[in-house]
Structure 1
Amino acid sequence: MKKFNIEAADSQGHGHSFTIKPLKNERYRIFNEQHVRVATIEIDNQDPEHYRQSLDCSVDLFLLNAIKDGILLHDGVLAK
């Protein structure tokens, strides 16, 4: 699977760019603008609203939810 980029806003409305690297089993590695991994998430394929994050996640929950929604939009799970 190929890497892709998304934009997501934090709780203050500031936009951020992220590079997403799809892994197997609905897992994704998330990298910031400096190409540093900030999280890995696994999205529940039965209920896309639920996901598990890595213990070393360095983004807040609001931003992580926005990133997850961006991933789902990219994958065609959510409608634009």
Structure 2
Amino acid sequence: MKQFHIKAADHEGIGHSFIIKPLNHEQYQIFNEQQERIATIEIDNNDYTHCRQSLDCQIELPLLNSIRDSILIHDGVLVK
């Protein structure tokens, strides 16, 4: 799978750009605009509202949830 770009808003409504690199169907690495890895997440295929984050995750939970939703929309799992 190829990497892709998403935009997601934080809890203040400020938009941020991220590069997403799929590792497999459930795991994704998240990079900031400076191409620094800031998190790895694993999305639960049984419950899309749940995901596990890496211990070194540098993203606050509301923004991480927004990123997760953007990934699911990109993958066609969620509809806007």
Question: Using a 3 Å threshold, how does the CA distance of structure 1 residues 9 and 29 change in structure 2: closer, same or farther?
Answer: same
CA distance in 1, matches of 2:45, 2:13: 28
* Gap runs ≥5 in structure 1: none
Aligned residue for 1:78, secondary structure, equals coil
Residue 69 of structure 2: SS of its match in structure 1? helix
Q: Which residue of 2 aligns with 1:8?
A: 8
Q: Quick one: percent identity of the two aligned structures?
A: 66
Q: What's the RMSD between the two structures over aligned residues? A: 0.7
TM-score (norm 2): 0.97
Q: How does 1:1-80 map to 2 (within 5 A)?
A: 1-80=1-80
Give how far 1:24 is off. 1.9
Displacement of 1:25: 4.4
Q: Which runs of 5+ in 2 are unaligned?
A: none
The count of corresponding residues between Structure 1 and Structure 2 is: 80
Change in 2 beyond 3 A, CA 1:75/1:25 = closer
Q: Distance in 1 between matches of 2:24 and 2:74?
A: 16
Q: Matched residues in 2 for 1:49 and 1:79: separation?
A: 14
Runs of 4 or more above 2 Å deviation: none
What TM-score, normalized to structure 1? 0.97
